[in-house]
Amino acid sequence: MNLHRLYLVAGIFWALLAGGAAALAAFAFAAGVSWVFLFGDEPWPAAVQWVLPLLALFVGLIVFAAVLIMVSRYGRMQAAAQSANPVRERRKAILLVFAPLMLIALGAASAWLRARDYSADLETVSKREQALADLVAANQKVVAVDIMSDASDLNAVVRINGQRSGLYHLVMRVLPATGNAIVLTEDRSLQLPVGESDVEVNLKMSEVQQAYRDAILKGRGGVLVDELFRLDVSLVPALAGDEIATLPPNERGRLESADSPLQSRRMAQFPVHFTLAQ
């Protein structure tokens, strides 16, 4: 193969590489401009779906032709130059042929590795989401809160059911039904078996009265309290290390928060009638 043809082959490869890069850059630039200045988050016109690719193809073809013509002219000049070293020029032309091929191969390998890593990440995310769904399905849940109260005692039964045995935290809060100010809190650690469990709650109304004076009235008295209160119950699993390791990362930080799917909550109301002396 003569020197000019070698440069022509090199020009084709370089033109393909430069034209493809230019087309991608033009598409990204046009899409960015369209989003920032024209359409934003509004629905884009259907014509954009073919205008942007057509613009990118046009830019890519221009760059392809420009690079091919430039390299071809250079090769013709080198082949026609009488003073040129033919061996050195041939080596240079062969290097120019293989250089874009190596770049294309490296780019393809990098894209393949990124695609493989992305696929592996998606599989990991899918497994973690499935592990969370399985844990939520098997987790112990508060199915009912039954309250029996009178003037002296607050007696309740928290009914729990689930397929995951293990350690749980049962948090019970007494609040006025019309507000979110916590009057009384009790936190229990429970070792729950598979299936149904009943947890009894026994509170003296005198404890509720004193807690109401301290938390709501800040120590004051001379108040008649005659309203509905509520007992909020939440059940949170104390997960083992291997269970935490299988969860999605964002779930590990909100296990104790109210929006965690692993937390089960129930509420029941009961009437309260007492007078706090001065």
- Apex CA 267: angle with CA 171 and CA 219, to 5°? 65
The per-residue b/e assignment along 122-157, b for 16 or more CB within 10 angstroms, e otherwise, is: eeeeeebeebbeebbeebbbbeebebebeeeebebe
- Residue 145: is its pLDDT beyond 90? yes
Answer with the one of 134, 166, 194 that is the final residue of a domain. Answer: 134
How many domains, in total, are found in the chain?
2
- Mean pLDDT for the stretch of residues 109-126: 87
The whole model's pTM is what? 0.60
In this structure, the answer to whether residues 18 and 102 fall within a common structural domain is yes
- Residue 170: is its pLDDT beyond 90? yes
Q: Which two tokens stand for residue 139?
A: 């987790």
In this structure, the answer to whether residues 130 and 163 fall within a common structural domain is no
What is the rounded end-to-end Cα distance, in angstroms, of the chain? 110
In this structure, the answer to whether residues 71 and 151 fall within a common structural domain is no
Q: Which domain holds residue 37?
A: 3-134
In this structure, the answer to whether residues 175 and 127 fall within a common structural domain is no
- Apex CA 121: angle with CA 255 and CA 261, to 5°? 20
Q: Which two tokens stand for residue 163?
A: 């397929």
In this structure, the answer to whether residues 46 and 110 fall within a common structural domain is yes
In this structure, the answer to whether residues 87 and 14 fall within a common structural domain is yes
Answer with the one of 99, 134, 169 that is the final residue of a domain. Answer: 134
pLDDT, position 1: 60
Instruction: Give per-residue pLDDT as tens, 173-202.
Output: 999 888 888 888 999 999 999 999 999 988
Domain annotation covers residue 139? no
Answer with the one of 114, 134, 154 that is the final residue of a domain. Answer: 134
Domain annotation covers residue 140? no
CATH code at position 174: 2.60.40.10
> What's the mean per-residue pLDDT of the chain?
85
In this structure, the answer to whether residues 130 and 157 fall within a common structural domain is no
In this structure, the answer to whether residues 153 and 37 fall within a common structural domain is no
pLDDT level of residue 161 (50, 70, 90 thresholds):
very high
User: What is the DSSP secondary-structure string of 170-223?
Assistant: EEEEEEETT-----EEEEEEEEE-SEEEEEEEEEEHHHHHHHHHHHTSTT---E
In this structure, the answer to whether residues 102 and 159 fall within a common structural domain is no
In this structure, the answer to whether residues 208 and 234 fall within a common structural domain is yes
Q: 3-state SS of 91-110?
A: HHHHHHHHHHHHHHHHHHHH
pLDDT level of residue 260 (50, 70, 90 thresholds):
confident
User: Do the beta carbons of residue 17 and residue 103 sit within 8 Å?
Assistant: yes
In this structure, the answer to whether residues 205 and 184 fall within a common structural domain is yes
In this structure, the answer to whether residues 127 and 190 fall within a common structural domain is no
pLDDT, position 197: 93
Domain annotation covers residue 244? yes
User: Do the beta carbons of residue 159 and residue 145 sit within 8 Å?
Assistant: yes
